[in-house]
Amino acid sequence: MREYLKFYIDGQWVDPVTPQSAEVINPATEDVSGTISLGSPADVDKAVAAARAAFASYSQMSVKDRLDLLEAIQAEYLKREEELGEAVMEEMGAPRALACGFHTLLGKGHLGTAIEVLKEFKFEEQRGVTMIRKEPIGVVGMITPWNWPMNQTCVKVFPALATGCTMVLKPPQLAPYSAQLLAEIIDAAGVPKGVFNMIQGKGSVIGEALSKHEDVDMISFTGSEPVGVQIQKDAADTVKRVALELGGKSPWIVLDDDGLAEHVAGATAGMMGNSGQTCSAGSRLLVPNARMDEAKKVAAEAANGVTVGDPKGNFAMGPVVSKSQYNIIQQYIEKGIEEGGELIAGGPGRPEGLEKGWYVKPTVFVGTNDMVIAREEIFGPVLVMIGYDDLDDAIAIANDSMFGLGGYVSGKDLDTCRDLARKMRTGAIWINGAFDFHAPFGGYKRSGNGREWGEMGFEEYLETKSIIGFEPA
């Protein structure tokens, strides 16, 4: 049983102003796995005051000193990587290999990337008589989701630390453990007091208090679209910068060539990764109508081949994060059947033999882009395969969405892949499974307005100052 009852404020582990706690449930067993404290606006006031006080000196710390600090954090992170993975496995149910693999690797990757970018980043640039300076925006409130807990947290915290900001982090109630360990790592690395603060609690309380706070300069939020809308409203009166990384319904176009079977299988298995709880998951798989029969066979086989079970065991997929997510996903599966989607794998209910834990069957529908299951983010292991007539049709379907987070193109002809990628209205497009920590990540349309990862992830936390007459004319 984990017990994390203290918050990290001003370099100390402190009790909440008003004690209140909540149990955390292990989604694989439905049992209580631990207890956390729930904060109140009074805790937020303390943390923001600490961050404000620390900003005066931290914002002036040299790049060299900030690099040393990030490297000290890196050393601590590496020592505790296994523990971080265990925490992720327990809090959100990712299989051990994934939790101790890609989940913690993403956190480590953003840390390494922040170090690389900081070494090269130009905070000052002379243009004529003017010096253009990039300066840290100030105190940042960070509100994160549970689905890739280390990724979402690290992609904010490390660029913010690198650019000289101070911060208050509010981790998700559903996945609070890994953030607690991260705070311990940051503490052990000797980050000056007040620079990084962490308060657990409800989004509707802590998140709202941060969004409305007079002394918070920016909110960086990753989560669902409705909460992003609310945060923007709450932040409006204080004219804060609000960076939003929201949901998606990302298209994956498979070209009509002899790699189709392999790509359909890969895209289907990819959709089931992390139990489909990935903001940029390729949840609409677009295949040529002329090859639909073949695609159906391959997708069904791939989905049925995804093993589901205890995260501690050797399975490809664990449970989804909570009872409430389980119920929402089940409703979408029912909806897909009701609106005439052709169910070719999975379906309602738990996989056979799994009576306890929030396990969902890897599910594939063949449908049309106007169906609810093709329009709304399900956030579970449910793929919708849609046929296209030609490449113009594929692009029209791909872009017919209120979201614009990710996109994928798989095929042998690289020119065609590039052409389709240029025409897709999304913030990131992955061609043939490539991956890059330096590629900006964020959404068009209702998928948000921010860009994280790499150098652009630094820009989020920076103000621009012009000093005119820095050089005489």
Query: Which residues of the chain form contacts with ligand NAP (CB under 6 A)?
Result: 143-148, 152, 170, 172-173, 202-204, 207-208, 211, 222-224, 227, 230-231, 245-248, 279, 377, 379, 405, 443, 448
Report the C-alpha gap between 302 and 176 in whole angstroms: 33
For the bound state, the minimum distance from the C-beta of residue 114 to ligand NAP, rounded and expressed in Å, comes to 17
Q: Between residues 6 and 133, which has the closer beta carbon with respect to ligand NAP? A: 6
Beta strands in 128-174 (DSSP E): 130-136, 139-143, 166-170
Residue 393 and residue 344 in contact, taking contact as beta carbons nearer than 8 Å: no
Report the C-alpha gap between 160 and 164 in whole angstroms: 6
For the bound state, the minimum distance from the C-beta of residue 202 to ligand NAP, rounded and expressed in Å, comes to 4
Q: Between residues 173 and 410, which has the closer beta carbon with respect to ligand NAP? A: 173
For the bound state, the minimum distance from the C-beta of residue 420 to ligand NAP, rounded and expressed in Å, comes to 22
**Catalytic residue check, 81:** no
Report the C-alpha gap between 142 and 243 in whole angstroms: 10
Amino acid identity for residue 284 in this structure: R
Give the closest residue to 165 by CA, choosing from 88, 218, 100: 218
Q: Between residues 169 and 260, which has the closer beta carbon with respect to ligand NAP? A: 169
Report the C-alpha gap between 381 and 276 in whole angstroms: 4
Active-site entry in 279, 377, 417, 452: 279
Please, what is the Cα angle at 80 between 74 and 82, to 5 degrees? Answer: 125
The DSSP 8-state label assigned to residue 433 in this structure reads: T
Report the C-alpha gap between 410 and 186 in whole angstroms: 40
**Catalytic residue check, 165:** no
For the bound state, the minimum distance from the C-beta of residue 235 to ligand NAP, rounded and expressed in Å, comes to 10
For the bound state, the minimum distance from the C-beta of residue 207 to ligand NAP, rounded and expressed in Å, comes to 2
For the bound state, the minimum distance from the C-beta of residue 371 to ligand NAP, rounded and expressed in Å, comes to 19
Question: Which residue of the chain is nearest ligand NAP when measured via CB?
Answer: 203
Residue 209 and residue 126 in contact, taking contact as beta carbons nearer than 8 Å: no
Report the C-alpha gap between 407 and 279 in whole angstroms: 11
Report the C-alpha gap between 151 and 454 in whole angstroms: 13
Active-site entry in 208, 225, 245, 377: 245
Q: Between residues 242 and 345, which has the closer beta carbon with respect to ligand NAP? A: 242
Residue 255 and residue 278 in contact, taking contact as beta carbons nearer than 8 Å: no
Q: Between residues 48 and 189, which has the closer beta carbon with respect to ligand NAP? A: 48
Report the C-alpha gap between 92 and 96 in whole angstroms: 11
Q: Between residues 6 and 312, which has the closer beta carbon with respect to ligand NAP? A: 6
Catalytic residue numbers? 245, 279
